[in-house]
Amino acid sequence: MPRRHDGPQRHRDTEKIYLKPLCLCVSVARESAIAFGIAAMMYGGVRAQSPNLGTPIAEAEVAGWDISILPDGTGLPPGSGTPAEGATIFAAKCALCHGPEARGGTNAALVGGAPLTNGIDTAKTIANFWPYATTLFDFTRRAMPWQAPRTLTSDEVYALTAYLLSINKIIGAQDVMNAQTLPKVRMPNRDGFRPRFPEMIP
Amino acid sequence: MQQDLPVAAGNGLLHRRAFLAGGGTLAAAFTGYALSDTAAAQQLTDDSWSRGRGALIPEYASPSAFEKGVARTLSNPRGEPRTQHARTPHHLLNGTFTPNGLHFVISHSGAPDIDPATHRLVIHGLVRRPLVFSLDAITRYPLVSRMHFVECGGNSAPMFSNEPVQAGVQAIHGLVSCAEWTGVMLSTLLDEAGIDPGATWIIAEGSDSMALSRSVPIAKALDDAMVAIYQNGERLMPGNGYPMRLVLPGWEGNMQVKWLRRLELVDQPAMSYYEARTYAQVLPDGTAYQFYFLQDVKSFITHPSPGLRLNGPGFYEISGLAYSAGGRIAKVMVTADGGKSWAEAALQEPVHAKAFARFRIPWRWDGSPVVLQSRAWDEAGHVQPTRAEVVARRGQTKAPVTNLAAFPSQHYNGPTSWAVETDGNVRHVYA
Across the interface, whether the CB atoms of B211 and A143 are under 8 A apart is answered yes
Residue B21: what pLDDT?
56
Q: Which of A50, A74, A121 has the CB atom closest to B397's CB atom? A: A121
Chain A residues within an 8 Å CB radius of B288: 116, 124, 129, 189, 192-194
Residue B303: what pLDDT?
98
Q: Is the pLDDT of residue A36 over 70?
A: no
B427 interfacial to chain A (CB closer than 8 Å):
no
Contact residues, A window 19-58, toward B, CB-based 8 Å cutoff: 19, 22, 25-26, 29-30, 35-36, 39-40, 43, 46-47, 50-58
B400 interfacial to chain A (CB closer than 8 Å):
no
Residue of A nearest to B79 (CA): A147
Q: Is the pLDDT of residue A42 over 70?
A: no
Residue B29 confidence class, pLDDT cut points 50, 70, 90: very low
Q: Domain ranges for chain B, please list them.
A: 106-289, 298-429
Q: Is the pLDDT of residue B28 over 80?
A: no
Q: Which domains does chain A have, with CATH numbers?
A: 7-54 (no CATH), 80-184 (1.10.760.10)
Per-residue pLDDT of B120-134, as tens digits, reads: 999 999 999 999 999
Residue B40 confidence class, pLDDT cut points 50, 70, 90: low
Across the interface, whether the CB atoms of A47 and B192 are under 8 A apart is answered yes
B393 interfacial to chain A (CB closer than 8 Å):
no
User: What average pLDDT does this structure show over A43-47?
Assistant: 46
Contact residues, B window 127-146, toward A, CB-based 8 Å cutoff: 128-134, 137-138, 140-142, 144, 146
Chain A residues within an 8 Å CB radius of B161: none
Q: Which of A5, A39, A131 has the CB atom closest to B350's CB atom? A: A5
Q: Is the pLDDT of residue B377 over 50?
A: yes
User: What average pLDDT does this structure show over A41-46?
Assistant: 44
Q: Is the pLDDT of residue B109 over 70?
A: yes
Across the interface, whether the CB atoms of A18 and B273 are under 8 A apart is answered no
Per-residue pLDDT of B224-264, as tens digits, reads: 999 999 999 999 999 999 999 999 999 999 999 999 999 99
- Asked if A82 and A90 count as a contact pair (C-beta separation under 8 A), the reply is no
Residue B5 confidence class, pLDDT cut points 50, 70, 90: confident
Q: Which amino acid is at B78?
A: R
Residue of B nearest to A69 (CA): B270
Q: Is the pLDDT of residue A22 over 90?
A: no
> What is the overall mean pLDDT for chain B?
94
Per-residue pLDDT of B116-171, as tens digits, reads: 999 999 999 999 999 999 999 999 999 999 999 999 999 999 999 999 999 999 99
Residue B38: what pLDDT?
52
Into which CATH architecture does domain B106-289 fall? Alpha-Beta Complex (3.90)
* Residue B323 or B32, more confident: B323
The class that CATH gives domain B298-429 is mainly beta
Per-residue pLDDT of A113-145, as tens digits, reads: 999 988 899 999 999 999 999 999 999 999 999
B185 interfacial to chain A (CB closer than 8 Å):
yes
| CA nearest to B83, candidates B411, B410, B400, B406 | B406
- Give the whole-angstrom CA distance, residue A54 versus residue B132: 5
Residue A118: what pLDDT?
87
Chain B residues within an 8 Å CB radius of A200: 217, 219, 291, 293
User: What average pLDDT does this structure show over A7-28?
Assistant: 35
Q: Is the pLDDT of residue A19 over 70?
A: no
pTM of the model: 0.90
What ipTM, to 2 d.p.? 0.91
